Amino acid sequence: MRDVPLSNLERQFLLDALEESKRLDGRSTPQRRPLELHFGRVEGTALVSVGETQSDHASLVYAQASASIAEPAVSRPIEGMLNIFVTYCGSAAARFADAAGTAGGDEAVEVTRLLERCLKESRCLDLESLCIVAEEKVWQIRLDVNILSAAAGGVADAASVAALAALAHFKRPEVTLQGDQVTIHPVSERDPVALAIHHYPVLSTFAFFNRQKSGSNAEKIVCVDPTWQEEQVMAGKIVFGVNPYREICTLHLAGQLLIDKSVVLRYAHVASQHAKSVVDLIKNQLHEDTQKRLAGQTEEIGFAFAFKQNSILQNVKPAEMVSTANLEHV
Amino acid sequence: MPVKDKALELRPLFAQLGLLGHTDGSVMFSLGQTAVICGVYGPAEVKPHKERLEGATVEISLRPPSGPTGLQEKAKEAVLKGLVESSILGSLHPRTSVFVSLQPLDMDGGELAAAVNATCLALMDCSISMRCLFASVEVTRTEDGIILLDPSQKQATKAVAKATFVFESVNQDVLASHLEGRWSEKAFQAGLQAALDGSKAIFQFYRETVKRKFSKELMMK
C-alpha cells in the first residue's frame, strides 16, 4: 500500500513556516515531543510513545529483551552476545502494510544499524558478565524492537529509549557453577538477575533545513525531533548517540549537508541533556515498577493498566462471572 | 465435584480505539493481562495480482512479541483470515484490500481469543461494513474434569485440553473452533456453553465501547 505523498504545496508551506521558526504541530524548533514509557508484565518489555497517542503525530515502539544460551563467538570466547532485530509492523504506516512482511526495508536497516552502533558498539552492556562457561556457554541477549507506529517520524529516538528500557527492565535466570556442573535456576527457584549496564546512550535526531532566501552557506534552521513530513523536506540530519556523561557514542550524518564542527559540538550538548532526562525517566519508571512488584500489586502491572485514562475512546470492564451453566464433573 | 469459584469468570476487558492515528481503524485490546494491538487499513488499494472481482482481498499479518514469525503465527493468521472474510461485506468493495496487522504485547493465556476480539474491535473502529460481529473465548479442561473459562497462563498450567471458540453476534453460531488435547462430547458441550456465555459478555463490551466512542456526537443531537 502506498503512503499519502507529501504535496509540493505542503512542502513549500513547511519550509515557509520554518523560516519564521514555526512548526506544523505548534512546537518551537528546539522542542521535543513528550515521551511516555511503560513497562509490561513480563520482565524486559517496554512500550514507548512519542507525541500524543491517537493523533497523527505519535510514534509507538515496543521492545522486548529475551535471553538464551549459545556458544560464544570464536574471537570472543568469554563474552556474551547482544543481537538487535528491528521490524516495522504492518500497522506502522501504509507503506509497510504488506502481508509478505518485508520487515521495513531501508528504514528498518537504518534504525537497526543506529541501534547497533549506539548499544552494541558502545559496549554499554557488560558482555563479560554474560559468560557462563568460557568457550562453551554464554548468554545471548535478543532485543526485538517492533515499530508499531511510524507515520509520525522520530522512530530512531523512540526505538533507542524502548531498547534501553527493555534492557534495563530485563532479568535473566540465575546461574550457579559447582566445579564442572552448571545449574540454571528456573524463576520459581531463584530470583532472576538484572543485566549489567555500564552507561545509557540515547539517540537524538536533529534535522537541518536550508534557508530559502540566503545562500546555502547561511546558518541553517535546526529542528529537534523531526516529524515524518519534516524529514521529507529537510536538507539533512544528524543523529547523535550520547549518554548523560556527555560521551558521544554514535554520530550519523545523512543527507546533503555541510556543517561546521562547532555545530556538531553544540547539538551534542543538547543531545546529552535529552539523554539525561531519558535516563531519569527510565530509572523512575523502573523504580515504580519494582515497588509495585514487591508490593504484589499484580493488577497494576502491565500495559493494560498503563494506558488507562479518562477518554471516551477507552472502555474498561472489570472481571465478571458469566456462566450460569451448571457444569458438573465432566 | 463442585466447580471452583473463579472457574467461570471472564477476566477484565480493556479496549482503546483509535490508538494508531494514521490507520483506518485500530485498537489496543486486553483480556486480563493478554494485550494485543491491532491496526486495520481498508478498503484500500490492492496490488493487481491480488485483486479479486468478487470482493475485497483480506490479508492478515500477526507478529510474535519476540523472535521471528513462525508456524504458530501463520496458523493464527489463517484462522483470522477466514473470520474476517466471512464477517465483512467484502462484496461491497471489489478490487480493494483489507489489511489487518496484529502485534501481541503480552501473552498470558487466551492469545488467539484476544487476537480475534482485537480484530473485530479494529474493524468496528474502521467502520467497515460487516454482516456480523465476532467474539472469542478460550476454555480449558483439567485432568479432574474442571472447566476453566478464560484462564490466565498460571491458571492453565494444569490444563490437559484447550479450546478456543469464536461466535458470531446475529445467531450465536460458531464461526470457528480451535481445539488442542482430548475433549469428550460431554466436556466439549460444557466448554462450548461456557464459551458462549463468555462471548455474550464480550459482545456487550463491544456495544458499550462503540457507544462510548460516539457518546459526544449522540449527546449533541
Band of residue A324 on the pLDDT scale cut at 50, 70, 90: low
Pairing between strand A131-133 and A81-88?
Answer: unpaired
Cis peptide before B43 (omega within 30 of 0): yes
Residue spans of beta strands (DSSP E) within chain A? 35-39, 45-50, 59-70, 81-88, 131-133, 137-149, 171-172, 175-178, 181-184, 193-194, 202-209, 221-224, 236-242, 248-255, 314-317, 320-321
Q: Do A146 and B63 touch (CB under 8 A)?
A: yes
pLDDT of residue A320: 85
Would you state the cell numbers that stand for residue B153, as one nine-digit string? 497462563
Q: Do B10 and A322 touch (CB under 8 A)?
A: yes
> pLDDT tens digits, residue range A111-169?
999 999 999 999 999 999 999 998 999 999 999 999 999 988 899 999 999 999 999 99
Identify the bridge partners of residue A133 per DSSP, sorted by sequence position: A137
Q: How many CB atoms lie within 10 A of CB A102?
A: 12
Give B18→chain A minimum CA distance, Å: 6
Q: Do B69 and A308 touch (CB under 8 A)?
A: no
Identify the bridge partners of residue B103 per DSSP, sorted by sequence position: B37
> pLDDT tens digits, residue range B166-221?
999 999 999 999 999 999 998 899 899 999 999 999 999 999 999 999 888 766 55
Name the residue among B7, B201, B216 with its Cβ closest to that of A320: B201
Q: Do A304 and B30 touch (CB under 8 A)?
A: yes
Tell me, what CATH number does B93's domain have? 3.30.230.70
Name the residue among B39, B65, B187 with its Cβ closest to that of A330: B187
Contact B105, B64 (CB under 8 A): no
Say how far apart CA A154 and CA A18 lie, in whole Å: 18
Q: Do B3 and A312 touch (CB under 8 A)?
A: no
Chain A, 251 to 280: residues with Cβ < 8 Å from chain B are none
Say how far apart CA A311 and CA B157 lie, in whole Å: 36
Determine what percent of chain A is predicted with pLDDT higher than 90.
62
Structural domain range at position B70 = 5-220
The pTM assigned to this predicted structure is 0.92
Contact B46, B57 (CB under 8 A): yes
Could you give the residue ranges of the DSSP H alpha helices within B71-184? 71-87, 111-126
Band of residue A57 on the pLDDT scale cut at 50, 70, 90: low
Band of residue A270 on the pLDDT scale cut at 50, 70, 90: very high
Give A242→chain B minimum CA distance, Å: 27
Domains contained in chain B, number: 1
Would you state the cell numbers that stand for residue B31, as one nine-digit string? 483480556
Q: Do B8 and A90 touch (CB under 8 A)?
A: no
Chain A CA closest to residue B46:
A1
Chain A, 159 to 178: residues with Cβ < 8 Å from chain B are none
What are the residues whose beta carbons fall under 8 Å from the beta carbon of A13, sequence distance 6 or more?
A: none
Q: Please give the average per-residue pLDDT across A27-31, as a whole number.
A: 91
Band of residue A308 on the pLDDT scale cut at 50, 70, 90: confident
> pLDDT tens digits, residue range A207-227?
999 888 776 566 889 999 999
> pLDDT tens digits, residue range A161-194?
999 999 999 999 999 988 888 899 988 899 999 9
**Which residues of A fall within a CB distance of 8 Å from B213?**
312-313
Q: Which of B16, B172, B215 to mutate to test the interface with A (most CBs of A within 10 A)?
A: B16
Chain B CA closest to residue A304:
B30
**Which residues of A fall within a CB distance of 8 Å from B136?**
none
Query: Per residue in B98-127, is it b (16+ CB within 10 Å) or e — as a string?
Result: bbbbbbbbbbbbbbbbbbbbbbbbbbbbbe
* Residue A55 pLDDT greater than 70, yes or no: no
* Residue A102 pLDDT greater than 90, yes or no: no
> pLDDT tens digits, residue range B55-108?
999 999 999 988 888 999 999 999 999 999 999 999 999 999 999 999 999 999
**Which residues of B fall within a CB distance of 8 Å from A304?**
12, 14, 30, 33, 35
- How far are the Cα atoms of B18, B92, B129 from residue B56, in angstroms, in the given order? 23, 8, 12
Pairing between strand A193-194 and A236-242?
Answer: unpaired
Q: Do A94 and B33 touch (CB under 8 A)?
A: no
What are the residues whose beta carbons fall under 8 Å from the beta carbon of B94, sequence distance 6 or more?
A: B52, B53, B54, B55, B56
Pairing between strand B57-62 and B97-106?
Answer: parallel
Contact A230, A207 (CB under 8 A): yes
pLDDT of residue A54: 60
pLDDT of residue A95: 86
What value of ipTM does the predicted structure carry? Answer: 0.89
Give B124→chain A minimum CA distance, Å: 12
Give A184→chain B minimum CA distance, Å: 21
Contact B108, B101 (CB under 8 A): no
pLDDT of residue B1: 36
* Residue B2 pLDDT greater than 60, yes or no: no
Q: Do A56 and B23 touch (CB under 8 A)?
A: no
